[in-house]
Amino acid sequence: MCVFYRNNNEELSVDGMSLGAIAKQYGSPLYVYSAAGITDAFTRFQNAVAPVNGKVYFAMKANSALGVLALIGKLGGGMDIVSAGELARAIAAGIKPSDVVFSGVGKTNDEIRQALACNIGQINAESQAEVAAISAIAKEMDLLAPVALRVNVDVSPSTHAKISTGERNTKFGISTNQREACDIYQQMAKDPHISPAGLAVHIGSQIRDLAPFERAYSALLALAIELRNAGWPVPNLDLGGGVGIDYDTAGPTDFKEYGLLVQRLFAGQGFNLGFEPGRAIIANNGALITQVIYVKQGGDKRFIIVDAAMNDLLRPTLYEAHHAIWPLDKPGISTSKADIVGPVCETGDYLGLDRDMPNLSAGDGLAILSAGAYGAAMASNYNSRSPAAEVMVVDGAAHLLRAARPIADYINDEMIPNYTDIPE
Ligand SMILES: *Cc1c(COP(=O)(O)O)cnc(C)c1O
């Protein structure tokens, strides 16, 4: 069952609190997360990979609120990061750097230096040039860098093109074709400044079918065994994230089948396994609450104009993503289809198109479901809008995770050059 449910008064609620009441207190638009839901999802994922001793590194790019990271840290999670900014967040949330894996195709020298300086658990390198850069920096710092190679096993995950990373022609990983990955791994294993940490793979996101995982993991395992048989240490296999969720029901994700697949492939093979789920832990445990500003009829269309916009939740326009949208109060009978749109000056600024919606009027509240992942983390200041604040409900009480930044703060960051020499 979805963590967002109707209470006895038909008010959409989470963990005993009505979302309308939370929005009244903290304002609208507002992200609301469920600590109980996150705990449940994370724990079930951990349990699904426990038989193979899997360690779970939450992919922070899905949601980087410190309050979310600290909760996952408390549950035993490490972090998968993609920038020095995310490293700073992991540390600020109390995560041990040794429990952090650094992914990403374009780590700068400065980012590599920062990661090594705090004794990061593992860097997943994605090119020969990156391995060389890490080696040079490790030499300069006089330490041994723990580096795994992210390989590209050329598996299409059959998901949206913008979140597909597994094919040969994407920018991700080192191709296992033409033996490139094998050669680079051997070179790396001989490097006196690198401690070879193993291999990593991540084929994409929102993958709802196990077949692409099976193909990718089988290819990774074959390469790992080949390298190990050749005498090279391959301690860790990082199996990435990508497990998909149900955006129609916004219900919890079952990890049992995924766990069984991993057991079938890796049990008894002698590798330490790492996992990097992001979306599957947090997406359905967060909703974006918004309020109707106006309703208008444009030609045959009903437009419901709300106070949340693409700067708060980019997924609908970026990925053509579908999010369920539910009225906060008792929903009447659907009267006609409507587009739910924001105030931003872009035709692409919508949260849902052609949705069956009851009669709504100014002030009515809506919840955009499944917004916990790639929602607040992707928010921007576009149109000089301050992104929605974030709240976590813990044991029936709401806690502010991040206040909306006052527009004055953005303005105060900026400077106007002295234009006195320019004729008016
Ligand atoms: C984005 C990403 C993840 C998380 O993907 P989800 O689909 O959110 O689980 C994990 N690992 C890497 C390397 C990523 O880039």
For residue 166, name the pLDDT band (cuts at 50, 70, 90).
confident
> Side-chain half-sphere of 394: how many Cα atoms within 13 Å?
9
Mean pLDDT value of segment 63-68: 98
The pLDDT of residue 178 is: 62
The pLDDT of residue 212 is: 96
The rounded Å distance from CA 202 to ligand 1 centre is 7
The pLDDT of residue 247 is: 97
**What whole-number percentage of the chain has pLDDT above 70?**
100
pLDDT exceeds cutoff 90 at 331: no
For residue 35, name the pLDDT band (cuts at 50, 70, 90).
very high
CATH of range 4-32+284-412; options 3.30.470.20, 3.30.70.260, 2.40.37.10, 3.40.1190.20 = 2.40.37.10
pTM for this prediction: 0.96
Q: Among the listed ranges 158-172, 174-188, 312-326, 348-362, which one has the minimum average pLDDT value?
A: 158-172
Q: Is 257 helix (H, G, I), strand (E, B) or coil?
A: helix
For ligand 1, say whether the CB of 73 is within 6 Å of any of its atoms. no
For ligand 1, say whether the CB of 63 is within 6 Å of any of its atoms. no
The pLDDT of residue 262 is: 98
The pLDDT of residue 394 is: 98
The rounded Å distance from CA 391 to ligand 1 centre is 23
Query: Do residues 203 and 216 touch, judged by C-beta distance below 8 A?
Result: yes
Domain boundaries in the chain? 4-32+284-412, 35-279
For ligand 1, say whether the CB of 64 is within 6 Å of any of its atoms. no
Q: Among the listed ranges 82-96, 188-202, 331-345, which one has the minimum average pLDDT value?
A: 331-345
* Token digits of residue 147: 């580096």
User: Which residue in this structure is represented by tokens 């991540």?
Assistant: 202
Clarify whether 118 is annotated catalytic. no
Burial label for 266, CB within 10 Å (0-12, 13-18, 19+), is buried
DSSP structure class, residue 379: -
The per-residue pLDDT for range 94-103, each reduced to its tens digit, is 999 999 999 9
The pLDDT of residue 170 is: 77
Q: Tell me the CA distances in angstroms from 44 to 63, 193, 255, 278, one per residue in order.
A: 19, 38, 7, 14
* pLDDT averaged over every residue in the chain: 95
Identify whether 29 is preceded by a cis peptide bond (ω within 30 of 0).
yes
For ligand 1, say whether the CB of 278 is within 6 Å of any of its atoms. yes
The per-residue pLDDT for range 139-148, each reduced to its tens digit, is 999 999 999 9
Q: Is 202 helix (H, G, I), strand (E, B) or coil?
A: coil
Q: What is the full DSSP assignment across 131-174?
A: HHHHHHHHHHHTS-EEEEEEEE------S-GGGB--STTSSSSE
Q: What angle do CA 72, 52, 176 make, to 5 degrees?
A: 95
For residue 406, name the pLDDT band (cuts at 50, 70, 90).
very high
Q: Is 230 helix (H, G, I), strand (E, B) or coil?
A: coil
Nearest to 146 by CA among 158, 131, 160: 131
Q: What angle do CA 289, 295, 300 make, to 5 degrees?
A: 125
Q: Is 188 helix (H, G, I), strand (E, B) or coil?
A: helix
**What whole-number percentage of the chain has pLDDT above 90?**
89
DSSP structure class, residue 396: T
For residue 179, name the pLDDT band (cuts at 50, 70, 90).
confident
For residue 173, name the pLDDT band (cuts at 50, 70, 90).
confident
For ligand 1, say whether the CB of 150 is within 6 Å of any of its atoms. no
* Token digits of residue 24: 């009244």
- To the nearest 10 degrees (0 to 180), the angle between helices 256-266 and 35-49 is 30
CATH of region 35-279: 3.20.20.10
Closest ligand 1 atom to the C-alpha of 283?
Answer: 8
220, 282, 48, 82 alpha-carbon torsion, rounded to 10°: 30
Q: Among the listed ranges 61-65, 146-150, 158-162, 328-332, which one has the minimum average pLDDT value?
A: 158-162
The per-residue pLDDT for range 252-290, each reduced to its tens digit, is 999 999 999 999 999 999 999 999 999 999 999 999 999
Contacts 24+ apart (CB under 8 A), 89-96: 89/60, 89/64, 90/60, 91/118, 92/66, 93/66, 93/69, 94/70, 95/69
For residue 128, name the pLDDT band (cuts at 50, 70, 90).
very high
The rounded Å distance from CA 275 to ligand 1 centre is 9
pLDDT exceeds cutoff 80 at 169: no
CB atoms within 10 A of CB 14: 26
CB atoms within 10 A of CB 232: 17
Closest ligand 1 atom to the C-alpha of 62?
Answer: 8
